[in-house]
Amino acid sequence: MAGHGARGSQPGSPAPARVWDPNRNVWLCYFSDARVYRRWGLHTEFQYRRTNGLRDPQQYFYRTGVNYSASDDVLLTAGYTYLLSLPYGDYPDPGRTGERRIYEKVEINQSAGRLALAHRYIQDQRWLRSEGQAKFDFQHRSRYRLQLKFPLNRPKIEAGALYALASDEIFVSYGHNAPSFFNQNRLYGGLGYRFTKALALEASYLNQVVSHDDNIVYEDNRTVQVSLSFNPDFRPASQR
């Protein structure tokens, strides 16, 4: 989450130089999209984020939502997110520790031969509060991610498949309280293994660039992400 790491310039003074704040993080993630009834399902997600390797806590992230499968390749979700962020890095922000969101998400899956493509659009309505602040600041944020997956030992990503993955996601903020248009960018690359139709494990490298609210400090977060995905289908056979 962006913070206030350094002061901005005074009116009429030269623009201050950009300050880079490098961090080494580890994100441990759990994702689940369970099919429950006909086209309806439930999304649950938890991310345990650490900094300085695994030594110090960075963030706790919880997200849940209701899914609707508009087709085999289009998934719609609406839900709620809670994020608790702790001060980290050389330019930590002691405030903005709490964030609550309502979000809407669209996922579109495509294929080109053996290559699987996934487009993800998220619209966040964010309520952010600094430590000691009585009221929340409200911001809008839009996100788009393009993800590519390619099976290495199977003709497609199925049970027993080892696959390579890569993605890039751009975040932009706007609204009365948004300090800047660019919020962050996440570039991923890694490997995954699908154990069953429902269960997969991915390990990836994430390079995350985050703009602080002052538009001077930019985090350069180099992160190892390990993700477990479990997508069970609880529907009776007649609904599948």
Structural domains in the chain plus CATH codes = 19-234 (2.40.160)
Q: How many CA atoms lie within 13 A of 147 on its CB side?
A: 19
- Residue in 143, 51, 63, 65 with CA at minimum distance from that of residue 100: 63
Strands 217-230 and 19-37: parallel
Instruction: Give the pair of three-digit tokens for residue 181.
Output: 């248009």
- Amino acid sitting at position 78: A
> Is this structure's pTM higher than 0.85?
yes
What pLDDT, on a 0 to 100 scale, did the predictor assign at position 98?
Answer: 85
CA angle 174, 178, 183 (to 5 degrees): 75
Q: How far from each other are the two terminal CA atoms of the chain, in whole angstroms?
A: 40
Q: Are 222 and 25 in contact (CB under 8 A)?
A: yes
Measured CA to CA in angstroms, residue 170 lies from 34, 121, 187, 216 at distances of: 27, 10, 9, 19
Q: What is the DSSP letter of 193?
A: E
- Tell me how crowded residue 46 is: count the other CB atoms within 10 A of its CB: 15
Measured CA to CA in angstroms, residue 42 lies from 37, 52, 69 at distances of: 10, 33, 11
Q: Are 116 and 150 in contact (CB under 8 A)?
A: yes
For 113, counting Cβ atoms within 10 Å of its Cβ (0-12 exposed, 13-18 middle, 19+ buried), the class is: exposed
- Amino acid sitting at position 76: L
Backbone angles phi, psi at 7, to 5 degrees: -80, 150
The residue whose two tokens read 């345990």 is 48
- Amino acid sitting at position 161: A
pLDDT tens, per residue, the chain with 240 residues: 444 445 444 555 666 788 999 999 999 999 999 999 999 999 999 999 999 999 999 999 999 999 999 999 999 999 999 999 998 999 887 556 789 999 999 999 999 999 999 999 999 999 987 766 777 889 999 999 999 999 999 999 999 999 999 999 999 999 887 888 999 999 999 999 999 999 999 999 999 999 988 889 999 999 999 999 999 999 999 998
- Tell me how crowded residue 175 is: count the other CB atoms within 10 A of its CB: 12
The residue whose two tokens read 């508009």 is 70
What pLDDT, on a 0 to 100 scale, did the predictor assign at position 4?
Answer: 42
Sign of CA dihedral 148, 154, 159, 162: negative
Length of the chain: 240
